[in-house]
Amino acid sequence: MDGRCVRLRQDGSLLHYSGADESFVRHYLALDLDLDRVLAAIDRDPVMGAAISCCRGLRVVRQPLFECLLSYLCATNTNIPAVRHRVEALASRYGEPVTGEGEIHAFPSSNALLGATEDDLRACRLGYRARFARTAIATVLADAEWETAVPLLSHDEARARLLDLPGIGPKAADCVLLYALGHLDAFPIDVWIRRILARHYRVELEDGPLSPSLYEAARAFGRDRFGPYAGYAQVYLYGARALLCRA
């Protein structure tokens, strides 16, 4: 996280941490956000109430923009273990070693990836995603203000800038909006969220492949129903997917 190796352990309501100071941990984990107020704002029906009861305590972390962007480029059409391996390979090859942490490396900055070719990125297990990652890296490096300008944009403007990047689709853009840019009204749609919405809210969302128009309909529904903290609603619905999709 931000060039640090942070270790966390929770005992009841007590959080133990090392590798960073309190202000960093509070910011990264969004501990300065009034979670009770957020949950009260999204607790609008029995389905969300059940999700909150199942997962109370979940928070939306605040990731660095470039790290989040490149991680979601690594995450297209794959599973979590594969994403972890790709991120670790990028860090191991291009990231700075974390002092005192042995073989652990920080996630590389955009500048650290300046000379990485598409073949180099393929060697980090990115596969076809290497072409998209190379373009994203080049785009960020070509505009010295990209990483500072995008966080200042409105939700729709930032989303448009993200969607301009090859390989960044609507779901990845919405995830970056939520986890890196602080747009807590973003509502990413994946197979689980679509299934939950179709089962409990909008049965018509169940029909056919998740086309762009269906994605936008599902995203709009989530944002309209849960308001400025729709992203938290999404996180809690996803966290309770086993309960909410139980046969």
Could you tell me if 95 and 86 are in contact, meaning their C-beta atoms sit under 8 angstroms apart? no
Per-residue pLDDT of 92-136, as tens digits, reads: 999 988 877 778 888 999 999 999 999 999 999 999 999 999 999
Delimit the domains of the chain by residue range.
Answer: 22-56+184-247, 65-179
Per-residue pLDDT of 223-247, as tens digits, reads: 999 999 999 999 999 999 999 998 5
User: Is 171 assigned a catalytic role?
Assistant: yes
Question: Which residue, among 80, 112, 143, 152, has the nearest Cα to 3 in the 3D structure?
Answer: 112
| Given 105, 171, 183, 219, the catalytic residue | 171
CATH class as words, domain 22-56+184-247: mainly alpha
Question: Which residue, among 94, 142, 89, has the nearest Cα to 115 in the 3D structure?
Answer: 94
Into which CATH architecture does domain 65-179 fall?
Orthogonal Bundle (1.10)
Whole-prediction pTM: 0.92
